[in-house]
Structure 1
């Protein structure tokens, strides 16, 4: 039996990454991957060790129902999404929408001089409006937590290894 989920759709991943880059024009690749995961599975925010300033994220996670099924094992789902997310970012870099050298160094930086096609821009605008609540939490909340080290986003989510990070 085949089950569709947008988390594992490469084109939808490109779209989600473009939406995130519209709100956060400069971030680490791993942070972009984490934010994309929580955009695809907003209820998984419940599993994050959130700082007290972001405790409202739990209420948000409970209020957002996922049209598709939630992952049985978030860590395995995140690992399975890895190659799709990296391929999506490579495609965006190939289009010249993000800095290729920065991407190779582990950063996603939007290049504003390259225009997004009008139809894609319209669809992104509709998506940003429809997903405003979760995108606001991701961009103004989770994205502000440092990625690396103890109590960094990798540590708090337990989706990526943090113990061997260099400061």
Structure 2
């Protein structure tokens, strides 16, 4: 039996990341943050499992409804399986000019004007398979958090090692 997992679909990832970048309207982005956010958009049920104090991000409990008993996976394993696909999508964004590596930092500058019109239309559509609830939660709550550190995205998502990061 074949099973489809949109988390491992490069085209769907391109759509998810485009949707995120359009909604976020940020000028710069780190590839690690983009990868973590893409994972959370593809797997909104994982938002409920964020390792944060009980009173922080109370609305994360709303993501229980995204649980699916047929999608039992190790989150870190799936995130690592998505790594190559993420790099391919980021490389594609660089090729079309949506992301431009900033030579002074390890961040990418975002040029929303370079998103192809067809992709932009599909990403902005209300009838696509992307959780706008997850995107809104990420933009409101997670984008201000740094990647590294004891309270960083790597730690609270438990998707990447963080113990040896330098702040």
Task: State the TM bucket, normalised to the shorter chain.
Answer: 0.7 to 0.9
After the TM superposition, which parts of structure 1 deviate over 3 Å for at least 4 consecutive aligned residues?
103-106, 127-130
Query: Where do 5+ consecutive residues of structure 2 fail to align?
Result: none
Shift of 1:56: 1.5
Q: Assess if the C-alpha contact under 8 Å between 2:18 and 2:120 holds in 1.
A: no
Is the counterpart of residue 75 in structure 1 residue 60 in structure 2?
no
Shift of 1:55: 2.2
Greater shift in the superposed pair: 4-13 or 46-55: 46-55
Alpha-carbon RMSD: 2.4
Query: Normalising to structure 1: TM-score of the pair?
Result: 0.86
Change (3 A) 1:82 1:132: same
Query: Where do 5+ consecutive residues of structure 1 fail to align?
Result: none
Q: Distance in 2 between matches of 1:76 and 1:150?
A: 22
Which one has a larger percent helix, Structure 1 or Structure 2?
Answer: 1
- Number of residue pairs the alignment of both structures matches: 163
Kindly report which structure 2 residues correspond to 1:1-167, keeping only aligned pairs within 5 A, or say none.
Answer: 1-24=1-24, 25=26, 26-51=28-53, 52-57=55-60, 59-65=61-67, 69-99=70-100, 101-102=101-102, 106-114=106-114, 116-127=115-126, 131-167=131-167
Q: Distance in 2 between matches of 1:37 and 1:44?
A: 9
Q: Distance in 1 between matches of 2:8 and 2:48?
A: 21
Shift of 1:106: 3.5
Shift of 1:149: 0.6
Shift of 1:6: 1.0
Q: Distance in 2 between matches of 1:118 and 1:106?
A: 28
Query: Normalising to structure 2: TM-score of the pair?
Result: 0.86
Q: Secondary structure at the match of 1:53?
A: coil
